[in-house]
Chains A and B, each alone.
Chain A
Amino acid sequence: MSDTATRTLGDEIVATPMAPASGRAKLLKMLVPLVAFAAMLAVPIFVEPFWTQVGFGVFAAAIGAIGLNLLVGTTGQLSLAHAFFLAVGAATYCYVSGESGGTATEVGGLGLPPVVGMLCGVALAGLAGLLFSPIAARLRGIYLGVASLGLVFIGQHLMNTLEEVTGGFNGRATPIFAVPGFSFGSSDPDLFVLGIPFGEAEREWYLGLFLLAAAWWFAHNLLRSRPGRALQTLRDSETAAAVMGVNVQAYKARVFLLSSMYAGLAGVLVALSIGAIAPESFTLEVSVLYLAMIVLGGLGSVGGAVAGAAFVSALPVIFQRYADVLPLLSQPGQGGLSAPQGARILFGLTIIAVVLFQPAGLAGLARRRPRRPARTTSVAPSTAPAQGSTP
């Protein structure tokens, strides 16, 4: 049962509390994220809006990837339905906060404050996950993967059909996000920081950054708590988990709820980042890309999911921008490899390489060197039986 990814992951979890961390190492461990966060805060002052826009897209994808990773990486429930839950979040936000009207298609809208819309999006996506969980609880492994694949197509159909909510095939515009007294659009209030105009891109950067930080922190703590450990036991063996007193069905339902709430939030942010929603933004390919993110980043690792999301969602945009300088790429319409195609082929190759050579993903690479010495003593007892059990 246990593949290499799980084993490496298991190491890390055992190793963290047991590793004899000196005071300085502990301090360093707390400081690094804080410094990184502070550095991220300063980014919009130094870079052009293009990069903050890319960054907002990455933050959105990262939140979704963390959610999917809780489900697939931590709990071992293969899901290809992530695009569906993203769509639920995005469509709900647009319907609740949007105004009725519309040019191409007549759409409805409740016109409530965007914060309410966002919360509704998260809640409804969570509800959708909870409704799917009884089905999920009956299925295992690959059967679950394929059943969840069905959800994506049903979601596509719904997005095309429920024109009043989603705008149908043509989609609808996303209402700009705002909190009372502050809009995340280009004005209201006009904002200058150190003489630099803070427009939509810069403001949304901060929105995404804070939400991602919260999402990361929550998942990080969850994995180190009692429910988090229960989920990991569930992945390794459902029977063993049940014997240990873990309520299997209840935990499966909860992790579906949580994962789809993350997806719902990601969906709202994706809608904001694109500026409109349409069925083509939530296809099966999106699900596959999210899966690629967590596999590349390392199954079960929160930081890995974020790194994978950055890689997968930023790469095509960067390729697009530098298409004229990069080798092998050509401008659109010249018959060569276009930027998105080049990026996609690179994803494919990376996925294959990761599964073949580095099943723990980017997180595994990062973890590999510095911790080696500390590991020999603390981990040996936990890995020995795991390896012994596979003849």
Chain B
Amino acid sequence: MTLFLSLLLNGLSLGALYALIALGFSVIFKASEVVSFMHGSLLLFGAYTTARLAADLPFGVAVLLGIGLTAGVGLLVERLLINRLRGSSVISLAILTIGVDIILVTELTRRIGSDILNMPAPWGGDVIRIGDVGITTNRAYAMLVAAVLIALFFAAFRFSDWGVAMRANAEDGETAALMGIKPGRVSALAWVVGAGLAAVAGLFLVGSPTPGVAPGIQAVALRAFPAAILGGLDSTGGALVGGLIIGLAESFASGYQDQILFLGRGFGDVVPYVVMILVLLVRPSGLFGTRELTRV
């Protein structure tokens, strides 16, 4: 029972981080029709810059700067590349982000080299215990911050001008443009938000129990892909649910590894994809995604 509770808690915190990344995916997709394959490198970029800056600056400042810089990269990509290709097919836009991703990851991997950068967070590797159940302080904060950010995001999405513009743009781009909503601005803001969320997730993902900033963490961002897809790519609520499902599934599959050994060691890393394929088999547009209609 203790194991179950601790897996549940850790799964929830992991899921909250996945949800943050997946939310970024779906905001970007809604606003600019781009499936961002470069989220892994954005996450890595955020974690890397924060860790490097924190060597000289106070931790809080470094975090803010890291998030800001990552958002800046997102903005730059949107302004310089995506904006020029408005209306291109989803596939060629996705391929474009793969191109950016290759460059960013190669450069970051080279800079990181073989050493592992530590995220000098003030809470370090502490563990919080509630009865018998333990969770690292890092993951507890992650859950808290993610919950606050997600709540903020949904409030902004519902009530702010940006949220209204965004929803209008996603609903019917042409009409929205006629009403004076600039599609370029909506999409630029979406990229800033998406990249910023990825940076926040990156910040926590490299902390304990993960050893530090290593190129491998971009694989984690890839596991948020199933989260976004199984929730429905164009549904922000779906991203949240998808993130939690994937986080819990992964946590339980790793924790009960010995009971499911017939599936092979390290099955936890694959579980997100298996879950995604199973869900897509039943619901091809994800759990909450808009069903594609074909008009003839």
CB pair B269–A352 under 8 Å, yes or no, is: no
Residues of B in contact (CB 8 Å), total 50
Question: Which residues of chain B come closer than 8 Å to A314, judged between CB atoms?
Answer: none
In contact, A157 and B107 (Cβ under 8 angstroms): no
Chain A: interface residue total (CB-CB under 8 A) = 53
Q: Are A243 and B296 in contact (CB under 8 A)?
A: yes
The 8 A CB mask of A238-271 against B (1 = contact, 0 = none) is 1100010000000000000000000000000000
A138/B92 in contact, CB under 8 A: no
Beta-carbon contact of A76 and B96 below 8 Å: no
- Restricting to A47-76, which residues have a CB under 8 Å from any CB of B? 72, 76
Residues of chain B within 8 A of A355, CB atoms compared:
85, 88, 92-93, 95-96, 99
Chain B residue with the shortest CB-CB distance to A139: B284
Interface assignment of A153: CB less than 8 Å from any CB of chain B: yes
Closest residue to B223 on the A side, CB-wise?
A153
CB–CB B102/A150 < 8 A: no
Which of A143, A156, A239 is the most central at the interface, judged by chain B CB atoms within 10 Å of its CB?
Answer: A143
**Contact, CB under 8 Å: B102 / A356:** no
Known contacts A1-B89, A140-B292: does B103 contact A348 (CB below 8 Å)?
yes
Question: Once the chains bind, are A146 and B92 in contact (CB under 8 Å)?
Answer: no
Chain B residues near A352: list those with CB within 8 A.
Answer: 81, 96, 99-100
Across the A-B interface, how many residue pairs have beta carbons closer than 8 Å?
A: 138
Question: Of A138, A145, A338, which one neighbours B281 at CB under 8 angstroms?
Answer: A138
Given A140-B284, A154-B273, A359-B92, is A145 in contact with B35 using a C-beta cutoff of 8 Å? Answer: yes
In the complex, chain B residues whose CB is within 8 Å of the CB of A160? 264-266
Is A345 an interface position by the 8 A CB rule? Answer: yes
Does any Cβ of A come within 8 Å of B225's Cβ? yes
B265 to chain A, nearest CB (A): 7
| CB-based nearest B residue for A157 | B270
Task: List B contacts of A141 (CB < 8 A).
Answer: 90-91
| CB within 8 Å of A: which B241-296 residues | 263-267, 269-270, 272-274, 276-277, 280-281, 284-286, 292, 294, 296
- B274's partner among A72, A145, A154 (CB-CB below 8 A) is A154
Q: Which residues of A contact B273 (CB under 8 A)?
A: 149-151, 153-154
CB–CB A351/B96 < 8 A: yes
A345 to B108, CA, bound (A): 11
For A344, the closest partner residue in chain B by CB is B106
Q: Are A78 and B280 in contact (CB under 8 A)?
A: no
Shortest Cβ-Cβ A-B pairs, 4 listed: A150-B273, A351-B99, A161-B264, A348-B103
Residues of A within 8 A of B (CB): 1-6, 72, 76, 78, 135, 138-143, 145-147, 149-151, 153-154, 156-158, 160-161, 238-239, 243, 284, 288, 291-292, 295, 335, 337-338, 341, 344-345, 347-352, 355-356, 359, 390
